[in-house]
Amino acid sequence: SRLIGLATLTVAGVLLGVGGCPQLLEQLLPNTDVQQKEETFKTSLHGTRQGKTTWYSKENGGFETLTGVPMDQLDCLNCHAKTLADGTPVDPETYQPSCADCHVEPGDQVSQETCLGCHSRQGLEAKLFSDVHRDAGMVCTDCHSDREMHGDGNSYASLSAEGALDTKCENCHKSSGGTAPLPDNTAHSIHMANVDCSACHVQSVVSCANCHFESEIAGGGKRFPGPLTGFVLLLRKADTGKVVTGTLMSLTYQGKTFATLAPIYGHTVTAQARECPDCHNNANVQQYTETGTIPLVTYDESQNTLTGPQGVVPVPPDWKTALTFDFMDYGGDPASTETDPSQWSFLKSGADLLQMLFAEPLTDEQMQKLQTPMGG
């Protein structure tokens, strides 16, 4: 094999030396860039789906603590689109993550439709909200790096883990220079050291509240009363300490209830930032000041559904008792892919288990600042 390799290189050198056939040269020389990506993909988040295991596992205080069902008995890690990028139907029994999930040919440009085929939350954001970057014609790969997509040879517990992402607003929006320099204003001067851009510029996050886990296990797929939008949580990113936007996810299984809070970046960005009263002493802050609680998920009996908060919701230090959750149960066939809305009913108030990973609640000092009226 060594002699063959040397012979190949010799022929390639001759072809290069005489400016010969590039098509033949392409066949002779392997695409080392593609080969390297194939190797690093194995430990990438796209390749391992490790984020799901991290959040679910009982070791991290996840939903497995209540269900007792190990991840390897679920289909979560084999989640896939209906077809590969080239349209080939996926066989759930043999499916393994690979380059073919996204690429028709190795190294070709991936379409937005392909990205959104898996990243459905971002697809829903695009349907419900404007985004200054999307409106300008930008696509996922304008911000998200090659390393994020294909991995770098290291394993990461989640996209929220330190070092997993390269993407950040400051890559383009710098105090001086950059693609789109930041304007010099009071809001930036006051907040930029401790508050992430998302806290002021993300319109809304999307939450899949009250997922019915029996349906997931039985093959009925994702089933929940409906997404919650029109709000952002404010919490602190564990690795930076900065205030960022967050979301919630809640689940039920055999009468047991669970909710988790997580940092998340909603692709619903506006150039016009929030005004001071949108955060400082807003309605949610006032309710916390007066009652010590902030309802996050509330059962609406008149509509037999769940409603979420509106506006900016700070996550206070006593979040485990301050934030309240209602839950519903589904009485229909969990194996059916069709949902009968009349089969939803109120289950109970309160989560049996709460989780927060890669984030921390706001500090007492930060809550005091939010309780102080500003502007307006």
pLDDT digits (tens, 9 = 90+) for 153-185: 999 999 999 999 999 999 999 877 778 888 888
Distance in angstroms (rounded) separating the CA atoms of residues 316 and 361: 6
Tokens for 144?
């998200």
pLDDT (tens digit, 0 to 9) for every residue of the chain, 376 residues total? 444 444 444 444 444 454 555 555 455 555 678 899 999 999 999 999 999 999 999 999 999 999 999 998 888 877 888 899 999 999 888 899 999 999 999 888 998 989 998 899 999 999 999 999 999 999 999 999 999 999 999 999 999 999 999 999 999 998 777 788 888 888 998 998 999 999 999 999 999 899 999 999 999 999 999 999 999 999 999 999 999 999 999 999 999 999 999 999 999 999 999 999 999 999 999 999 999 999 999 999 999 999 999 999 999 999 999 999 999 999 999 999 999 999 999 999 999 999 999 999 999 999 999 999 987 6
Distance in angstroms (rounded) separating the CA atoms of residues 264 and 244: 8
Distance in angstroms (rounded) separating the CA atoms of residues 71 and 209: 20
Go through the chain and tell me how many residues it has.
376
Residue 15 in domain: no
Residue 268, beta-bridge partner list: none
Helix or strand or coil: residue 308?
coil
Identify which of 339, 356, 341 has the alpha carbon closest to the alpha carbon of residue 260. Answer: 356
Residue 343 in domain: yes
Q: What are phi and psi of 311, to 5 degrees?
A: 80, -155
Q: What are phi and psi of 168, to 5 degrees?
A: -155, 155
Residue 232 in domain: yes
Q: Please state whether 35 falls in left (phi above 0), alpha (psi between -120 and 50) or beta.
A: alpha
Give the structural domain span for 177.
48-79+119-370
Tokens for 241?
């300490």
Structure confidence by residue, pLDDT tens digits, 148-160? 999 999 999 999 9
Residue 94 in domain: no
Residue 289 in domain: yes
Identify which of 235, 240, 239, 238 has the alpha carbon closest to the alpha carbon of residue 248. Answer: 235
- Structural domains in the chain (count): 1
